[in-house]
Structure 1
């Protein structure tokens, strides 16, 4: 019991957001009379919030360094307009158009990163200017019109499902196999990580708590996979999200540049004295954010099947809210990709659940505002308690 209490105390931010997500799911599952967790609705939640998750993954790195990016919604809209022009107006092939669009995002990120990292203009001002600039350029590129439709093979990544090569009938067997593989990979990685920590005599969970955690998460993966298999299988966008989360989690926890990101956010002056090139770190963080904003713009445009001047409206607030709710601290130095995912899911389930209940968009915005305020207040109170 003492071990369990210590675990909760040391990870109160992480456990708080997980409990919040589970609680919100249970409440809306009851209020919607079971509609929330139907296979169709789970798939809708994934697809409808995919762009927020992508933006939140990039935003968490920006916020960890103690900076902010208010331009991601406008950048996503601008890149969507570029993609629409390339594929619909100029009729270029899909793959080159996607590559060009991502490169445009990287250039935009480099532009903003230069001003923030090297010229020392506050990130709030740089990205606010970027928000206005790229919103205006979106209207210029589209000339105030909506471009549609995109080629069918472009929409695959945002709206289509992996085919069931095994023809499982009422169950998508490809999804079941992928789910089993995911459980095996997860269990192996957990036991391997525990073995490595034990070799260095690091404090670890008791074996019973560790085993309980592994079993519980494995069961959740299995149930989630079963829900997808009953409907249409695994969406391509889900595989993209899993790859991004796994890649960024590895980068942030297992690589030297990833640890440098935390060092810059924790104490930039101390990091510089330790040999960390803080300007270079911030520059590349914004390049990364530009690429992910471009990817989010492509995903959103593909799902909408159109490039529109109104795209990306308030995306930046959704991304920041998801990141903060997911445990990132606006003062820097704290945050994870998994936390950003959970924060985005909390926002997504709130939106979806309230929509199913017929709650108006006005009350939805008000409730999300209160949730964001509560998350920040929780972070501040927790810091004071531990400080």
Structure 2
């Protein structure tokens, strides 16, 4: 492998290597406590909102490095409305639908000003952040609204029984979890092989077989480690199902659909995209309306995990989502970024959160560390673009 290829490989996999090093660092500092099955489960349950919000934030960033500052407030507002509706006797499923519709309406409201009136996204979503944080306080009257519906908490990731039941009744290990993990590995390997065969048939350039095998071994090992850790605790948390659905759907949208290609095109060169006949206003509208919908879903998961709604919920969520995107390889200039990259960024943010919590580090210092990691990721992106030019 030539020096250029090595450097390219390192550039593409920098954040993965950093994730491994950070995980190893916290494993050392915590005496291995971060590797406990319960902590691995908490990594998903406590950071489910990061995965969902970061996936939606990626679409906004792809349009040209734009962000949505209102998502934390939208999480809080939709969660407050949902908790109040369920406290008033509304069926939980109907309350969830209302929450999602409210989130979509908020996203569409902001998307209209951004896409058609051309108000800068930063200003529009900053206004939304203030408006919906204020409305959350008004709706809850500054108080906490508890949620007593156990089925809601179980289905959306809250409560002690929010895990998929194991029909095989394994002792010590959750057999269902192991089966799902093995199935994921098999599907992944089949997709890798099929993709390589198709590229060879069409005469496209393919990566060296050694690199593909090494990458596949690492991914399969990571999935199985994660699966075994979950199976040693209580199995698959329901929050993981919602995260998996969002990741799969949006990975498909960004890589296999027309609107996905349009998002990358707008971020790459909006003027050229518009001249080619693509309605860039609809692309912007889709990105921000979609962000509102996913913020509402994150609101559902948040109040389910906390078993309540409070005016302070969602505070700082937008920073975690933005950080996960940029750490995961999304470009500050737009047009570059993938859902798998966002997953890496979200996991890294989650590991930092969990590791410092296990170590008992003050939350204020945690913010300092996350801010430094975010700055380093963006600096790396800027410098790599400068080198390419």
Indicate whether the TM-score tops 0.5: yes
Give 1:11 deviation, angstroms.
5.1
Cα offset for 1:12? Answer: 4.5
Gap change, CA 1:146 and 1:331, over 3 Å in 2: same
- Verify the 8 A CA contact 2:57 2:325 in the aligned structure 1: yes
Query: Any idea what the Cα deviations from partners look like across 1:143-188, whole Å, max 9, x if unmatched?
Result: 1111002411111221311000100111100101111111111111
Q: How big is the shift at 1:338?
A: 1.3
Structure 1 residue 333: deviation in Å?
0.6
Distance 1:108 1:81 in 2: 14
Q: CA deviation at 1:6?
A: 5.2
- Separation (CA, whole Å) in 2 of partners of 1:9 and 1:255: 31
Equivalent residue, structure 1, for 2:35: 37
**Which residue does 1:70 correspond to in 2?**
69
Q: 1:130, 1:360 → 2: CA distance?
A: 30
Query: Structure 1: how far apart are the matches of 2:349 and 2:6?
Result: 24
* Distance change in 2, residues 1:132/1:13 (3 Å): farther
| Number of residue-to-residue matches in the alignment | 384
Shift of 1:301: 0.7
Structure 2 CA distance for aligned equivalents of residues 150 and 285 of structure 1: 34
Q: What does 1:235-384 correspond to in 2, within 5 Å? A: 235-384=237-386
The match for 1:107 is 105
Q: Which 5+ residue runs of structure 1 have no aligned equivalent?
A: none
Q: Is the 8 A contact 1:13 1:327 kept in 2?
A: no
| Counterpart-to-counterpart distance in 2, 1:11 and 1:335 | 16
**TM-aligned CA distance change 1:11 to 1:114, over 3 Å:** farther
Alpha-carbon distance, 1:28 to partner: 0.6
CA distance in 1, matches of 2:293, 2:41: 25
Shift of 1:7: 5.0
Aligned CA distance change for structure 1 residues 91 and 14 (closer, same or farther; 3 Å): farther
CA contact (8 A) 1:84 1:150 kept: no
Q: Which 10-residue stretch deviates more, 148-157 or 21-30? A: 148-157
Q: 1:306-334, CA deviations, whole angstroms, 9 ceiling, x for partnerless residues?
A: 01111111111111111111111121111
Conserved 8 A contact 1:161-1:235: yes
Q: 2:232 pairs with 230, 233, 251, which one? A: 230
Identify the residue that residue 52 of structure 1 maps to in structure 2: 50
CA contact (8 A) 2:107 2:290 kept: yes
Runs of 4+ with >6 A deviation? none
**Alignment check: 8 A CA contact 1:8 1:15 kept:** no
What SS class does the counterpart of residue 335 from structure 1 fall into? Answer: coil
Structure 2: stretches of 5+ with no match in the other structure? none
Preserved contact between residue 332 and residue 381 of structure 2 (Cα < 8 Å): no
In the alignment, is residue 180 of structure 1 matched against residue 189 of structure 2?
A: no
Matched residue SS, 1:359: coil
Map 1:91-106; keep pairs closer than 5 Å: 91-106=89-104
TM-score, structure 2 length as denominator?
Answer: 0.96
Partner of 1:211: 213
- 1:127-146 residue pairs with structure 2 within 5 A? 127-146=125-144
Partner of 1:169, secondary structure, is coil
- State the alpha-carbon separation in 1 of the partners of residues 135 and 364 from structure 2: 29
Per-residue Cα deviation, 1:56-114 (whole angstroms, up to 9, x for no partner): 000011011022110000000000011011111x2111111111110100000000000
Q: Say if 1:62 and 1:285, in contact at 8 Å, map to a contact too.
A: yes
